[in-house]
Structure 1
Amino acid sequence: MVNLHKVVLSVFFIGLLSTAFAQEYKAGKANWQNLDFADDGVHGLSTEKAYRTLLKDKKGEKVIVAVIDGGVQADHEDLKDVMWVNEKEVAGNGVDDDNNGYIDDVHGWNFIGNAEGENVHFDNLEVVRLLRELQPKYISVLPSTPLNEEEKRAFDEYQKMTTDYMAKLKQARMGELNYGMLKDVVDSIVADIGESNPTASQFSAYKAKNRNESRALRIIASEMKDKSFEKFYEELEEAFEYYSNQLKYHLNMEYQSRDIVGDDYEDSSERIYGNSDVEGPDGEHGTHVAGIIGAVRSNDIGIKGVADEVLIMGVRVVPDGDERDKDVANGIRYAVDNGAKVINMSFGKAYVKDKQVVDEAVRYAMENDVLLVHAAGNDSKNNDKFTSYPNPRYVDSLGFNQGQGDAWIEVGATSWDKDNLVASFSNYGKQTVDLFAPGVDIYSSIPSSAYKEASGTSMASPVVAGLAALIRSYYPEFTALEVKDIILQSVVKIDDKVKIREDNTNKRVYLSDISVTGGIANAYEALELAEKRSQRK
């Protein structure tokens, strides 16, 4: 889902509002997601404490974690030594050596590319794809048009989708306009100053020529209190690009990219298509996620992943836009068939085309003792009230509940800042979000062997996936369900109320009001509990 990829920025209106990026957080401690509250003053995972004490003289087994995402740089300096390698496949020979149907799948598979090496970069939102299918049938329907019950339900859904689509389109147009205007004004000011990277004092000394420049200078001054101009401008460009891409691709009814793949898209049972390029044209999100899970801990470069005996399998199914159900299902099945014991899924969307094909793949993962870890979403919404996809609940063709996949963990995001503990963007839900984990200002790997901070439940989910891999590595006797239970039973409970936003209103609630466990994932507590349970086995 595109909202799991975007930079968390607030929209401003030049000429109407003078506030811009209302950043809630300042930079936290390096590696904070792995730190401990008692030792370091932040509600991290207590990973380093666990390694120093509980795991000091232990050796774990290798555990394969599949990163189903937008792409992973397999040769990244901090990931190349922990990438899963399909030993039965000969790299680059163009032959399906292991006869699994996937040619040269050395580090995983890409379900949104073709055999010639072309890849899907952008795609629509699911609501656009569904509207494109429904419009020919319902665009001319009037209140007096006779419809049967099934058609009435479909028409009602069509109307809701149309309303939602128009709201998204309006927001995207406003976002592109306003961020574009600010960028133009900032560019003009920088050109007048005559420096490519001006200092705060140079901006302060600059005399505004008009109202827009005055507002831009106030925005710059506010932002440069805790970041460089270079960082501010990078975020500005990302925000402008985000809204521009929405208009060009995500919300563009005329844009279609599936032809690149060349599959029979309507055949959800089709499984053999794609190529072996696990990074694709934009592997930033997936590479960042992979680093959080398992970047090498002992090489004194980059970052420290959560799990030290992990093998990362790259499975590319998420474009810049909404993922497709067929690809998600095939990604899960590929990961299971090739030995993954934990699957991280930092993506999601508001609409679904073929939920049952994903449900069948989730069932397949459950049958094969695989734990699925999923990001709750970045809409500041209550997931108990707003359904998002994928989810662990199985439905039939009419949408009626048919049980659920129990080896599934839904993760919300927290910050290192105890005064803003629950990330302002994080979704939550007393019945639907299991727990919270660090997801703000997480420094991790990105392509070109580089590193970057990012925030989102996309970052919180791999923290928990890494913890699951850690438990399965050092206590391989536990099933996926037992690992889930250990993680949920060992959360650190928070006594104080936290801030959330619901129905456009700020509220203070307990974590137990907005999650199943009422707590934050903790590696030290989980491994201690795992040891106790292991001794009783």
Structure 2
Amino acid sequence: MIRVVGQVRFRGSTMSRHNSRQKLSQFLLVEHLERRDVPAMIYDFDLVRQNAADFRDDSLLLTLTTPIAPDFSVGAYAPGLQLIRNYHLVPNLYEAKIQGATLLGTLEKLEPSLRVAMVQPNAKIQAAGIPNDPSFSKLYGLNNTGQTGGKFDADIDATEAWDTQTGTGRTIVAILDTGVDYNHPDLRDNIWTNTGEVAGNGIDDDHNGFIDDVHGYNFVTLTGDPMDDNGHGTHVAGTIGAVGDNGIGVAGVNWHTRLMALKFLDSTGSGYLADAIAALDYAVQMGARISNNSWGGGGYEATLGQAIARATVGGHIFVAAAGNSSSNNDVTAAYPANYNSPNVVSVAAVDQNGVLASFSNYGPTSVDIAAPGVNIYSTLPGGTYGSYSGTSMATPHVTGALSLYLDAHPGASATEALSALYQSADSLTSLQNRVAGGRRLNVGNMFTQLAPPVSDPQGARVVAGQFNQAGGSITSASLTFSEEVQPSSFSLADVSLVGPLGTLAISSVTTVTGSGNKQFTITFAPISQAGNYRLGVGPAILDLTGNYMDQNVNGFNGELSDLYTLDWTQQVQTVFTNNSRVAIRDLRTVTSTITVDADLIIGDLNVRMDASHTYVSDMVITLTSPTNVVYTLFNRRGTSGDNLIGTVFDDQAAVGIAEGLAPFTGAFRPEGSLTSLVGKNARGKWTLSISDKASRDSGTLQGWSLEFTQQLQVSAMPARRLAGSQLAKAQVALVSVALPVGPMWTGGALLSANQPLTPVPDLHAAHPMAVANTAAALQARLDMSVWSRFLADETGTPWSTRNRAAKAY
């Protein structure tokens, strides 16, 4: 087991730890923000002063106020500081190397920086005490006949599962640990191999950012050799996937899996936060469906929590040891097992009698399942074997079971796999009020008592989309599908991009490496022209079972209304900032004002702020407009959490402030909508009011900003309602429209038809495959994004939005 050493602090005051299991939404991510004119927030400042040995002295983690074009030169952000790597799972997070300076001195230099948003010292991670009771035992955890003096059948029923499935090797399992002896005779046939890499040539052949990463990566030495020099990781690997039925040694839960070795802990079992995030980042990037995390304990680290939550997008399952402190995780949280992201599985340990191990942590709400973890016999480096105990040993039983299930059901989602895991578990009286549902792993039941996942007749849909900027221009778009799609069915012909001057060329459509064909990047020439842009995708993109898209989730695949659209308005933002600090005192209301001295017609308004305040639920925050209309932004949310760091109140945010978690980093919808300000003139005095409603906790407003985008004028055409069959007969001709100079939408489309068009009551095609089978209709869909905004029914509702599942911003 591994323990995180460190405590989150705000500069000059302690940020309290919270014992309850914290909710971490998958949307709680580091946002790409345009501007943030407030000093950097420093974590663990006091702890570095008290005991610098708990942190790495030559590196730290940070986020930037302006993530576009980060500067990797030495001294760019502080003397001797150089950015050395970033993370896919946590955008805008960087590890920076410290040269010729101390950690404490660097933190002091970074604190007043306006270019750095957040700084996190690189917390040390150490091996926690594993109960030192190694004794020879056989694999009672897989099949218990009482051979070790335990209770008959107090096991996971692996032999029953093997009657149905012994593994196929389809599922990649990442082992984040001390490495793996990939030459062990009982493991080497199941070690993952990166087929895109040539061993030993010193070249990053697959262009994933890592050289010679043939079997994984070593984040301690930054080399492609993840060999285990401790033993812990190899022992874990054997329980998950030692080769079965090969006449030697032991058998893993999955006889034929693929084990990815990711070493971030050194020979003493010590490592650092930045490397743990990097290892998980690599696992998701390279296609691992599951990661085994037999390490943990200590405190909440926001950056690691964000990475784990972000991994849910790719369907990644994060299996974690509950801890070896004999403590209640419902009361005293142990991380990473206590991150309440839906992809986290927290595992306790039981002995050969099915009784909770004396050392095991527990928690009826925070610990999800138990598995054998006492005197577990498995592989060790050098071709040897031995017995270890700990929740570290229980965890790989669960990981192996999940990999076996996904091998048998490759189309199953992470949610379906976890549902099968929990529904099939044995419910033991001895584990009631100790583990959720009293559950002990039963992999046999996953195959003998549960029906296989129902074949999904519904097509894929785009669940996330965004335009990507570089240097002030948009250069690409990223899409995430709800399930794996066939790359060969997604080509340039399936994409359209229309802007103020008409249709723009698409350069490429590529699969994101390691995404399991769920994530794609669409590239085009850089766009800087002001105006509205719309990307159209689909609907003739196929999932693995041959279904066309079902974007509107109505059960009919391949309709015109299943076209996914993504909108972007290219415009300049105007920002007004007040960086004066204001003390927030108990049971008082304080104010800060910004005067807008220009005539701006509001198209959108975001409010950005930073406030240090322990127990944020003491606060009510409002914004008063120049016309004295009061808008509530924040109303006593976040329970006992601390601070609002880089918080943006944005009506278009995916997450409401009520659903967020302190320190509320990123964008959130405010309590009261700001949309009524659209069309109003921004000139005048704006007032931010913060009311402290309780005693004992206080804080400081560090600064705040008003971010205005001006309202664009959009030329419109008379609306006509068209049926799907008639749309196929419509001819579209792009025209240029002369409009007054300014940031206006300057293009449009003119519709004509081969025959009179009459209103019809139904916009759906008569047959779900009508579009797919009609060449003319498929051609018509390519122009859909141009003119769909002009089509409306008698109520005035745009046709393109009536059947669209969601709109991405």
Q: What TM-score do you get using the length of structure 2 for normalisation?
A: 0.39
Distance 1:525 1:280 in 2: 34
Partner of 2:235: 288
**Where does residue 437 of structure 2 map in the other structure?**
517
Structure 1 counterpart of 2:202 = 94
| Offset from partner CA, 1:50-96 (integer Å, 9 cap, x none) | 213x338xx74521000000111111111110000001101111111
Q: 1:343 aligns with which of 291, 296, 300?
A: 291
Q: Does 1:8 align with 2:120?
A: no
| 1:299 maps to which of 232, 246, 256 | 246
What's the secondary structure of 1:327's corresponding residue? helix
1:280 positional shift: 4.6
Give the match for residue 385 of structure 2.
451
Other structure's SS at 2:432 match: helix
The corresponding residue for 1:139 is: none
Cα pair distance change 1:87/1:481, threshold 3 Å: same
1:333 maps to 281
Which whole-Å CA distance do the structure 2 matches of 1:321 and 1:87 have between them? 29
Q: Which residue of 2 aligns with 1:382?
A: 328
**1:316 correspondence with 2:268:** no
TM-superposed deviation, 1:516: 1.2
Q: In 2, distance between residues paired with 1:422 and 1:27?
A: 20
User: Are residues 37 and 452 of structure 1, via their aligned partners in 2, closer, same or farther at CA, if it must alter by over 3 Å?
Assistant: closer
Match of 1:469 among 390, 403, 413: 403
Shift of 1:532: 4.4
Pairing partner for 2:190 from 63, 82, 89: 82
Aligned length: 330
Q: How far does residue 112 in structure 1 lie from its aligned partner after superposition? A: 1.2
Q: Which string of whole-angstrom CA distances, capped at 9 and with x for unpartnered residues, describes residues 314-363 of structure 1?
A: 001123355322111111110011110110000013135xx222122112
State the one-letter code of the partner of 2:181. Answer: Q
CA contact (8 A) 1:109 1:315 kept: yes
Q: Which whole-Å deviations, capped at 9, do the CAs of 1:179-212 have from their partners, x for residues lacking one?
A: xxxxxxxxxxxxxxxxxxxxxxxxxxxxxxxxxx
Secondary structure class of the residue paired with 1:35: coil
Amino acid at match of 1:344: N
Q: Note the residue ranges of structure 1 that are not aligned, 5 or more in a row.
A: 10-22, 114-273, 394-403, 498-510
Q: Check conservation: 2:228, 2:234, Cα contact below 8 A.
A: no
Q: Decide which of 92, 106, 119 is 2:214's aligned counterpart.
A: 106
1:167-178 aligned at under 5 Å gives the runs none
State the one-letter code of the partner of 2:272.
Answer: R
- Residue 437 of structure 1 contacts residue 461 of structure 1 at CA under 8 Å; is this kept in 2? yes
The structure that is strand-richer by fraction is 2
Cα distance in structure 2, aligned partners of 1:436 and 1:391: 13
State the secondary structure of the residue aligned to 1:329: helix
Q: Which residue of 2 aligns with 1:71?
A: 179
Larger % of helix: which?
A: 1
In the alignment, the residues of structure 2 paired with residue 91 and residue 437 of structure 1 have an alpha-carbon distance, to the nearest angstrom, of 37
CA distance in structure 2 between the partners assigned to 1:448 and 1:322 by the alignment: 21
Partner of 1:51: 162
Quote the Cα distance in structure 1 between the aligned partners of 2:306 and 2:205. Answer: 28
Q: Would the aligned equivalents of 1:4 and 1:377 in 2 still touch at CA under 8 Å?
A: no
Q: Which amino acid in structure 2 is aligned with residue 441 of structure 1?
A: N
Kept in 2, the 8 Å contact 1:36–1:49? The answer is no
Counterparts of 1:366 and 1:528, CA distance in 2: 28
Name the structure, 1 or 2, with higher relative contact order (CA <8 Å, separation 6+): 1
Note the 1:121-160 alignment, pairs <5 A. none
Q: Is the 8 A contact 1:433 1:516 kept in 2?
A: yes
Secondary structure in structure 1 of the residue aligned to 2:421? helix
CA distance in 2 between counterparts of 1:38 and 1:288 reads 23
Identify the residue that residue 350 of structure 2 maps to in structure 1: 414
Higher Cα Rg: structure 1 or 2?
A: 2
Partner amino acid for 1:527? F
1:367 to 301, 306, 313: 313
Aligned residues of 1:329 and 1:361 also touching (Cα < 8 A):
yes
Q: Give the letter aligned to residue 439 of structure 1.
A: G
Amino acid at match of 2:329: N
Calculate percent identity across the aligned residue pairs.
34
SS at match of 1:81: helix
Q: 2:228, 2:381 within 8 Å by CA — same for their partners in 1?
A: no
Equivalent runs, 1:14-25 vs 2, <5 Å: none
TM-score (norm 1): 0.58
Return the offset for 1:431. 1.3
Paired with 1:83 and 1:457, the residues of 2 have a C-alpha distance of 23
Q: Kindly tell me: are residues 46 and 469 of structure 1, through their superposed partners in 2, closer, same or farther at Cα, counting changes over 3 Å? A: same
RMSD (Å), alpha carbons: 2.4
Q: Is the 8 A contact 1:47 1:306 kept in 2?
A: yes
Residue pair 2:165, 2:404 contacting (<8 A) in 1 also: no
Q: Is the 8 A contact 2:321 2:337 kept in 1?
A: no
The SS at the match of 2:347 is strand
**1:321/1:280 CA distance change after superposition, 3 Å:** closer
* Equivalent in the alignment of 2:802: none
The CA deviation at 1:392 is 5.3
For 1:80, the aligned partner's letter is: R
**Hey, what's the Cα distance between the residues in 1 that align with 2:146 and 2:232?**
31
- Per the TM alignment, residue 405 of structure 1 is displaced from its structure 2 partner at its CA by 1.6
